[in-house]
Amino acid sequence: MDGFSAESFAALLAMIGAVIVVSALLSGLVDRSGLPQVAVFLGLGAALGPFGLAVLDVSLDSPALRIVSTLSLALVLFTDAVALNISEVKQRAVLALRLLLPGTLLSAALVALAAWWLLELPVAASVILGAALASTDPVLLRGLLRRRDIPDDARHALHLESGLNDIVLLPVVLVAMAFLGKGTVLNGEILAKLGLDLFILGPSAGIIVGLVAVAALDLTRKKLGVRRDYESLYSLGVALAAYAAGEAVHGSGFLAAFAAGVTIAALDVELCDCFVEYGGVTAEMMLLFTFVVLGSSLIWTGFSVIDGRTALFAVLALVVRTPIYLLSLVGSRVGLRGRLLIAWFGPRGLSSLLLVLLPVFAGFAEGGRLFSICSLVVLVSVVMHGGSPMLLTRAARRRARRDGAEAPRVVTAAASQAPRGAEEEVADRQRISIEEVQKLTQTDKPVTVLDVRTERSLEGSSSQAKGAVRMPPDHVSDRARELGLDVNAWLVAYCA
Q: What is the pLDDT of residues 140-163, one digit of tens each?
A: 777 677 777 788 888 888 888 888
DSSP 426: G
- The Cβ of residue 435 has, within 10 Å, a number of other Cβ atoms equal to 9
Q: Rounded to the nearest 5 degrees, what angle is found at the Cα of 201, between the Cα atoms of 200 and 203? A: 70
Specify the pLDDT at position 85: 79
pLDDT average, residue stretch 341-359: 90
- Collapsing DSSP to helix, strand or coil, 199 comes out as helix
* Choices 1.20.1530.20, 2.60.40.1730, 1.20.1050.10, 1.10.150.110: CATH for 6-401: 1.20.1530.20
CB neighbourhood size of 367 (10 A)? 22
Cβ–Cβ under 8 Å, residues 160 and 99: yes
Please report the pLDDT score of residue 262 as a whole number. 92
pLDDT class of 44 with cuts at 50, 70, 90? confident
Tell me the per-residue pLDDT of 361-386, one tens digit each, with 9 for 90 and over: 988 888 999 999 999 999 999 888 87
Name the average pLDDT for the chain: 80
Taking residues 446-453, report their average pLDDT. 78
Q: What is the pLDDT of residues 395-442, one digit of tens each?
A: 555 665 665 544 444 444 333 334 444 454 544 455 677 777 777 777
133: pLDDT confidence band, cut at 50, 70 and 90? very high
**Per-residue confidence (pLDDT) for residue 12, from 0 to 100:** 64
Residue 28: count of CB within 10 angstroms of its CB: 9
Among 41, 17, 72, residue whose Cα is nearest residue 284? 72
SS3 assignment, position 250 = coil
Going by their DSSP bridges, the two strands 447-451 and 469-470 should be labelled as parallel
Question: What residue spans define the domains of the chain?
Answer: 6-401, 421-494
Q: Is the pLDDT of residue 105 over 80?
A: yes
Pairwise pLDDT comparison (21 vs 135), residue with the higher score: 135
Comparing 417 with 93, the larger pLDDT belongs to: 93
- pLDDT for 368 equals 93
- How far, in Å, CA of 259 to CA of 57, rounded? 35
Pick the CATH number of 421-494 from 3.30.70, 3.40.250, 3.30.40, 2.60.220: 3.40.250
Number of H helices, E strands in the chain: 23, 3
Question: Binning pLDDT at 50, 70 and 90, where does residue 258 land?
Answer: very high
Question: Is the pTM higher than 0.85?
Answer: no
